Structure 1
Amino acid sequence: MRATLLSLLSLANGALATVQGFDISHYQASVNFASAYSAGARFVIIKATEGTTYIDPTFSSHYTSATSAGFIRGGYHFAHLDTSTGAAQASYFLAHGGGWSGDGITLPGMLDLEGDCVLSTTATVAWIKDFSNTYHASTGVYPLLYTNPSWWSTCTGNSNAFVSTNPLVLARYASSAGTPPGGWPYYTIWQNSDAYAYGGDSDIFNGDMAALVRLAQG
């Protein structure tokens, strides 16, 4: 993963290319994956789990349909930091669709960090590390971390603990991505809108298609 991050950084600095993608959950019960692919989208991140008790009811069908349409795809987990440990939630995610294999079409799982700050900044960083290290121990890759600048600054104290390990998925609905939080020198994916034409949120990968495949390969 370190090599991938460095490779992506060089792409980001050179601003060589971007790849359109999107993310979805059960709120998008029906998605026209074929049309999204025809329009240029090449990756999709699909909600799999929350906490240790919830599985998104559309995850399996969305994942199968995305695969059939030719997408690079992966799952994401919505974190509940106050209900169980990071390790427990990573294990639940892995057991219900959040796994990874270096096949070039499966993205590392994504940890969705948003909402209220329910732990201290120190405890929040420790929780994320617990999740991330558990995921890495099982798969050999670190999960993507999804957050917005306000949440990261307030809830983690703008921690830079994940810069060299975890790719950043930056949520910022604006005309530009701006400066990433937490010392990340660049974002890997920018969620730039909550209204993608074919459902869910619009995501922009910070690199070309070859770099996206490398991310999927670990």
Structure 2
Amino acid sequence: MFVVTIDQQGSRRVGDRVDELLATLRARGDLYRGSAGVAAPFERTVGDEVQCVLVDPALAVDVTLAVLRLKGWSVGIGAGPVDEPLPASSRAGSGPAFILARDAVEQAKSRLRVVPLVVHGHHEARAREAEAVLVLLGATLQRRTPAGWEVVDAVERSGETRQDEIARRIGVSQQAVSQRLRTALWAEEQAARPVAARLLAAAAVDG
């Protein structure tokens, strides 16, 4: 299992953004109770913190990167077993993965971290490797320009890979689409996501 705990940064300064975050995450359509890969959906746990329990490591990667893109949040992932049966609410959950996620999010709050993300796992060496890949991905996303995001979002929303069609949709040249995708390191991101997911899966089991 993968417990993802997210804590808001600077809530006293900017106000509570939890409802905004939950609305953004739920708009994805794949994080509701009963969705494939979701053991317990995102909910506010305490204060300005939210948490969910996922079965699918690829979904954990997707969610983590989506939150890092928003900025202003620290993310801790605990990869490992949970006490079963798992209650409907993650707030009532217990087990090693919950403890690992708690330790991870507390460490992620460190101001020394450029990307506020920490992964702890049942297999800690694999967890560190998963964290390294996710931090690189997070840093890539944080440096992506609005023009880069426009093209990447158009590709991901439509599922269209033909650059001439993407260019037509957003009103730029095909050459501009190609250049923006290269600058955004989109192909590299897509290649690295499954690697992060495999490492997360490995971190959840005892080595």
Give the TM-score taking structure 2 as reference length: 0.29
Question: Which structure's CA Rg is the greater one?
Answer: 2
Give the number of the structure with larger relative contact order, counting CA–CA contacts within 8 Å between residues 6 or more apart. 1
Higher share in helix: 2
Give the TM-score taking structure 1 as reference length: 0.28
